[in-house]
Amino acid sequence: MSDIVTGPDGQPRCRWCAGGQELLDYHDTEWGFPVQEDSRLFEKLSLEGFQSGLSWRTILVKRDNFREAFDHFDFNKIARYTDHDVERLLQNEGIIRHRGKIEAVLNNARLAQAIVERDGSLAAYIWRFEPDKDKLAPPRTVTTSPESVALSKALKKQGWKFVGPTTMYAFMQSMGLINDHPEECVIRSKVERARELFKRPGR
């Protein structure tokens, strides 16, 4: 089966975005475009953890609920959460009520603070793992890479949770560290242009 589907405007797109309007909008305006804001990077790291065992669409339709519940993923605020907040979140029907995943966000928020203190920003740290585009596998052909394995190991060594290599590869795809839109996808050239203009943090 081809990785390409024809969108409502007649243009070719990644097949996975055909599952609903929210996926199409996400594909066209977010997936693969480079991100340097720490809060957005932390949000995606957190939501990728919540996605474990679920579909991205399930998470995407609840994203606004997650943002409201987790102070828009301001990790400085989340780092101050207590057991009371965990219980509050477990009662929130608008999010995924999984104790381990919720507690992982709190744990990771405190560790994100440590990265910022040491490296200046979460973005500066994350973007060090950007792959050499000349050594990338063809788009949509792999689910891990040496760089996603390295990022996973580096975060796990610091105590981060729900950051396996496959999860980190999906994170890299979505946050623009790689352009994994197939050559035929109408959005690929837009992402590539955005990556060319993007100023890598910490460099």
DSSP string, 137-203: PPTTS-S--HHHHHHHHHHHHHT--S--HHHHHHHHHHHTSS--S-TT-TTHHHHHHHHHH---TT-
CA gap 39, 42 in Å, rounded:
5
Q: For this structure, is 81 an active site residue?
A: no
Whole-number pLDDT of residue 133: 84
Whole-number pLDDT of residue 1: 59
Cβ neighbour number for residue 197 with a 10 Å cutoff: 8
Q: For this structure, is 56 an active site residue?
A: yes
Q: What is the pTM of this model?
A: 0.96
Catalytic residue among 22, 31, 37, 48: 48
CA gap 31, 175 in Å, rounded:
7
Catalytic residue among 31, 43, 56, 127: 56
Catalytic residue among 26, 31, 81, 127: 26
Buried b (16+ CB within 10 A) or exposed e, 85-100: beeebeebeebbebee
Structure token pair of residue 115: 């990265």
**160 contacts: CB under 8 Å, gap ≥ 6:** 107, 108, 111
Q: For this structure, is 26 an active site residue?
A: yes
pLDDT in tens, the chain (203 residues): 578 999 999 999 999 999 899 999 999 999 999 999 999 999 999 999 999 889 999 999 999 999 999 999 999 999 999 999 999 999 999 999 999 999 999 999 999 999 999 999 999 999 999 999 888 999 989 999 999 999 999 999 999 999 999 999 999 999 999 999 999 999 999 999 999 999 999 77
Whole-number pLDDT of residue 134: 84
Whole-number pLDDT of residue 135: 86
